[in-house]
Amino acid sequence: MIRLEAITREYFMGDVEIRALDDIHLTIQRGEFLSIMGPSGSGKSTLLNILGVLDQPSSGSYYLEDVDITQLRDKELAQVRNRHFGFIFQSYNLFPELSALENVMVPLMYAGKPRSERIRRAEELLASVGMGHRLKHLPTQLSGGEQQRVAIARALANNPTLILADEPTGNLATDQGAEIMNILQDLNAQGTTVVIVTHDPSISTYGKRLIKLRDGAIVEDQAIAEIKKEA
Protein backbone atom coordinates (compact mmCIF):
# COMPACT_ATOMS: atom_id res chain seq x y z
CA MET A 1 0.00 0.00 0.00
CA ILE A 2 2.80 2.44 0.97
CA ARG A 3 6.48 2.30 0.13
CA LEU A 4 9.02 4.88 1.28
CA GLU A 5 12.41 4.80 -0.43
CA ALA A 6 15.39 6.76 0.92
CA ILE A 7 13.19 9.44 2.50
CA THR A 8 15.04 12.30 4.18
CA ARG A 9 13.67 15.48 5.74
CA GLU A 10 15.98 18.37 6.47
CA TYR A 11 15.29 21.86 7.74
CA PHE A 12 17.24 24.75 9.17
CA MET A 13 17.17 26.28 12.64
CA GLY A 14 19.06 29.49 11.98
CA ASP A 15 22.24 28.38 10.26
CA VAL A 16 22.09 24.85 11.64
CA GLU A 17 20.80 22.08 9.38
CA ILE A 18 18.63 19.51 11.16
CA ARG A 19 18.06 16.11 9.59
CA ALA A 20 14.72 15.03 11.06
CA LEU A 21 14.56 11.86 8.92
CA ASP A 22 17.59 10.04 7.56
CA ASP A 23 17.29 7.55 4.68
CA ILE A 24 13.97 5.98 5.69
CA HIS A 25 12.98 2.79 3.88
CA LEU A 26 9.56 1.52 4.97
CA THR A 27 6.77 -0.59 3.51
CA ILE A 28 3.25 -0.64 4.97
CA GLN A 29 0.86 -3.33 3.81
CA ARG A 30 -2.90 -2.83 3.55
CA GLY A 31 -4.59 -3.85 6.81
CA GLU A 32 -1.53 -3.40 9.05
CA PHE A 33 -1.59 -1.79 12.50
CA LEU A 34 1.77 -0.09 12.88
CA SER A 35 3.08 1.55 16.07
CA ILE A 36 5.91 4.10 15.82
CA MET A 37 7.98 4.84 18.92
CA GLY A 38 11.13 6.76 19.75
CA PRO A 39 12.49 9.42 22.10
CA SER A 40 11.58 13.07 21.74
CA GLY A 41 13.17 14.49 18.59
CA SER A 42 13.61 11.07 16.97
CA GLY A 43 11.46 11.97 13.95
CA LYS A 44 8.20 10.20 14.85
CA SER A 45 5.81 13.06 14.09
CA THR A 46 7.83 14.10 11.03
CA LEU A 47 7.47 10.59 9.64
CA LEU A 48 3.73 10.57 10.37
CA ASN A 49 3.32 13.97 8.69
CA ILE A 50 5.11 12.75 5.58
CA LEU A 51 3.00 9.57 5.51
CA GLY A 52 -0.12 11.76 5.66
CA VAL A 53 1.22 14.23 3.05
CA LEU A 54 1.07 17.05 5.61
CA ASP A 55 4.78 17.56 4.94
CA GLN A 56 7.06 16.86 1.98
CA PRO A 57 10.38 15.01 2.13
CA SER A 58 13.59 16.79 1.16
CA SER A 59 14.56 13.78 -0.95
CA GLY A 60 13.47 10.23 -1.68
CA SER A 61 10.31 8.68 -3.09
CA TYR A 62 6.90 7.98 -1.54
CA TYR A 63 4.81 5.43 -3.39
CA LEU A 64 1.10 5.20 -2.54
CA GLU A 65 -0.61 2.38 -4.42
CA ASP A 66 2.48 2.34 -6.70
CA VAL A 67 2.16 6.06 -7.56
CA ASP A 68 5.10 8.29 -6.60
CA ILE A 69 3.18 11.10 -4.91
CA THR A 70 6.32 13.21 -4.38
CA GLN A 71 5.85 14.14 -8.05
CA LEU A 72 2.30 15.51 -7.58
CA ARG A 73 1.27 19.17 -7.44
CA ASP A 74 -0.22 20.76 -4.30
CA LYS A 75 -3.81 20.48 -5.55
CA GLU A 76 -3.33 16.80 -6.36
CA LEU A 77 -1.74 16.20 -2.94
CA ALA A 78 -4.76 17.80 -1.24
CA GLN A 79 -7.00 15.37 -3.13
CA VAL A 80 -4.81 12.46 -2.02
CA ARG A 81 -5.07 13.59 1.63
CA ASN A 82 -8.84 13.90 1.48
CA ARG A 83 -9.35 10.60 -0.33
CA HIS A 84 -6.88 8.32 1.44
CA PHE A 85 -6.10 9.56 4.95
CA GLY A 86 -7.91 10.15 8.21
CA PHE A 87 -6.05 12.08 10.93
CA ILE A 88 -6.33 11.86 14.72
CA PHE A 89 -4.30 14.24 16.91
CA GLN A 90 -3.38 14.35 20.59
CA SER A 91 -5.15 17.71 20.99
CA TYR A 92 -8.26 16.51 19.09
CA ASN A 93 -8.21 19.59 16.76
CA LEU A 94 -11.99 19.94 16.78
CA PHE A 95 -13.55 23.23 15.69
CA PRO A 96 -14.68 24.76 19.02
CA GLU A 97 -17.66 26.61 17.52
CA LEU A 98 -19.07 23.49 15.82
CA SER A 99 -21.10 20.70 17.38
CA ALA A 100 -19.92 17.09 17.33
CA LEU A 101 -22.16 16.45 14.33
CA GLU A 102 -20.89 19.52 12.46
CA ASN A 103 -17.25 18.64 13.17
CA VAL A 104 -17.69 15.23 11.56
CA MET A 105 -19.47 16.80 8.60
CA VAL A 106 -16.50 19.06 7.72
CA PRO A 107 -14.46 16.54 5.64
CA LEU A 108 -17.65 15.52 3.83
CA MET A 109 -18.27 19.15 2.91
CA TYR A 110 -14.76 19.42 1.42
CA ALA A 111 -15.47 16.20 -0.49
CA GLY A 112 -18.51 17.88 -2.06
CA LYS A 113 -21.15 15.62 -0.49
CA PRO A 114 -24.74 16.98 -0.32
CA ARG A 115 -25.94 18.17 3.08
CA SER A 116 -28.40 15.31 3.59
CA GLU A 117 -25.65 12.78 2.98
CA ARG A 118 -23.26 14.66 5.27
CA ILE A 119 -25.78 14.57 8.13
CA ARG A 120 -26.61 10.89 7.62
CA ARG A 121 -22.97 9.83 7.43
CA ALA A 122 -21.94 11.93 10.46
CA GLU A 123 -24.80 10.53 12.56
CA GLU A 124 -23.81 6.97 11.59
CA LEU A 125 -20.17 7.51 12.47
CA LEU A 126 -20.85 9.18 15.81
CA ALA A 127 -23.19 6.33 16.74
CA SER A 128 -20.46 3.82 15.80
CA VAL A 129 -18.02 5.37 18.33
CA GLY A 130 -20.63 5.63 21.09
CA MET A 131 -21.41 9.33 20.61
CA GLY A 132 -24.85 9.12 19.05
CA HIS A 133 -26.35 10.79 22.12
CA ARG A 134 -24.00 13.83 21.96
CA LEU A 135 -24.58 15.07 18.41
CA LYS A 136 -25.41 18.67 19.32
CA HIS A 137 -22.75 19.15 22.00
CA LEU A 138 -19.83 21.53 21.51
CA PRO A 139 -16.28 20.29 22.21
CA THR A 140 -16.19 22.30 25.46
CA GLN A 141 -19.19 20.26 26.65
CA LEU A 142 -17.39 16.95 26.06
CA SER A 143 -14.73 15.10 28.05
CA GLY A 144 -11.33 14.44 26.51
CA GLY A 145 -12.27 10.87 25.68
CA GLU A 146 -15.51 12.02 24.08
CA GLN A 147 -13.69 14.63 22.01
CA GLN A 148 -11.27 12.00 20.77
CA ARG A 149 -14.20 9.77 19.79
CA VAL A 150 -15.59 12.65 17.75
CA ALA A 151 -12.14 13.10 16.18
CA ILE A 152 -12.09 9.40 15.22
CA ALA A 153 -15.55 9.70 13.67
CA ARG A 154 -14.34 12.74 11.69
CA ALA A 155 -11.24 10.84 10.56
CA LEU A 156 -13.48 8.09 9.17
CA ALA A 157 -15.82 10.45 7.31
CA ASN A 158 -14.51 9.82 3.79
CA ASN A 159 -13.77 6.09 4.22
CA PRO A 160 -9.98 6.53 4.38
CA THR A 161 -7.69 3.66 3.53
CA LEU A 162 -5.30 4.73 6.29
CA ILE A 163 -5.80 6.22 9.77
CA LEU A 164 -2.84 8.24 11.08
CA ALA A 165 -2.91 8.95 14.82
CA ASP A 166 -0.34 11.16 16.57
CA GLU A 167 -0.31 10.38 20.33
CA PRO A 168 -4.07 9.69 20.26
CA THR A 169 -4.18 8.87 24.00
CA GLY A 170 -1.63 11.46 25.15
CA ASN A 171 -4.15 13.75 26.87
CA LEU A 172 -6.39 11.00 28.24
CA ALA A 173 -6.69 9.06 31.48
CA THR A 174 -5.62 5.40 31.26
CA ASP A 175 -9.17 4.02 30.99
CA GLN A 176 -10.14 6.56 28.32
CA GLY A 177 -6.96 5.79 26.40
CA ALA A 178 -7.77 2.08 26.46
CA GLU A 179 -11.25 2.81 25.08
CA ILE A 180 -9.77 4.81 22.20
CA MET A 181 -7.24 2.09 21.40
CA ASN A 182 -9.97 -0.55 21.43
CA ILE A 183 -11.88 1.50 18.85
CA LEU A 184 -8.75 1.68 16.66
CA GLN A 185 -8.22 -2.07 17.06
CA ASP A 186 -11.81 -2.72 15.99
CA LEU A 187 -11.35 -0.48 12.92
CA ASN A 188 -8.20 -2.39 12.04
CA ALA A 189 -10.04 -5.71 12.43
CA GLN A 190 -12.56 -4.40 9.90
CA GLY A 191 -9.76 -3.79 7.39
CA THR A 192 -8.63 -0.20 8.02
CA THR A 193 -4.87 0.32 8.04
CA VAL A 194 -3.78 2.14 11.22
CA VAL A 195 -0.50 3.90 12.03
CA ILE A 196 -0.02 5.45 15.47
CA VAL A 197 2.80 7.45 17.02
CA THR A 198 3.12 6.96 20.77
CA HIS A 199 5.68 7.40 23.53
CA ASP A 200 3.85 4.82 25.69
CA PRO A 201 5.06 1.19 25.37
CA SER A 202 1.72 -0.14 26.67
CA ILE A 203 -0.15 1.73 23.92
CA SER A 204 2.25 0.49 21.23
CA THR A 205 1.29 -3.13 22.01
CA TYR A 206 -2.21 -2.57 20.62
CA GLY A 207 -0.54 -2.65 17.20
CA LYS A 208 0.81 -5.63 15.29
CA ARG A 209 4.17 -4.19 14.26
CA LEU A 210 6.58 -1.81 16.00
CA ILE A 211 8.91 0.67 14.34
CA LYS A 212 11.46 2.37 16.59
CA LEU A 213 13.20 5.57 15.51
CA ARG A 214 16.35 7.19 16.83
CA ASP A 215 17.97 10.32 15.39
CA GLY A 216 15.69 10.18 12.36
CA ALA A 217 16.55 6.59 11.42
CA ILE A 218 14.71 3.29 11.85
CA VAL A 219 16.61 1.20 14.40
CA GLU A 220 14.02 -1.55 14.93
CA ASP A 221 11.20 -3.07 12.87
CA GLN A 222 9.60 -6.07 14.53
CA ALA A 223 6.27 -7.87 14.90
CA ILE A 224 4.78 -7.07 18.31
CA ALA A 225 3.83 -10.73 18.80
CA GLU A 226 7.56 -11.58 18.60
CA ILE A 227 8.41 -8.84 21.09
CA LYS A 228 5.85 -10.25 23.54
CA LYS A 229 7.37 -13.75 23.17
CA GLU A 230 10.81 -12.40 24.00
CA ALA A 231 9.56 -10.50 27.07
pLDDT at 231 over 80: no
CATH number at residue 114: 3.40.50.300
Residue pLDDT, tens place only, 45-61: 999 999 999 999 999 99
DSSP code of 156?
T
What pTM does this model have? 0.91
18: in domain: no
DSSP code of 213?
E
pLDDT at 161 over 80: yes
Q: What is the pLDDT of residue 228?
A: 83
Nearest Cα to 147, choosing from 125, 162, 131, 158?
131
Band of pLDDT at residue 132, cut at 50, 70 and 90: very high
Residue pLDDT, tens place only, 110-122: 889 999 999 999 9
23: in domain: no
Residue pLDDT, tens place only, 57-106: 999 999 999 999 988 888 899 888 888 999 999 899 999 999 999 999 99
195: in domain: yes
- Across all residues in the chain, what is the average pLDDT? 93
184: in domain: yes
Residue pLDDT, tens place only, 144-158: 999 999 999 999 999
- CA separation (Å) from 193 to 1, 108, 152, 188, 229? 9, 20, 14, 6, 24
67: in domain: no
Domain count, the chain: 1
Q: Which domain holds residue 92?
A: 32-56+74-230
17: in domain: no
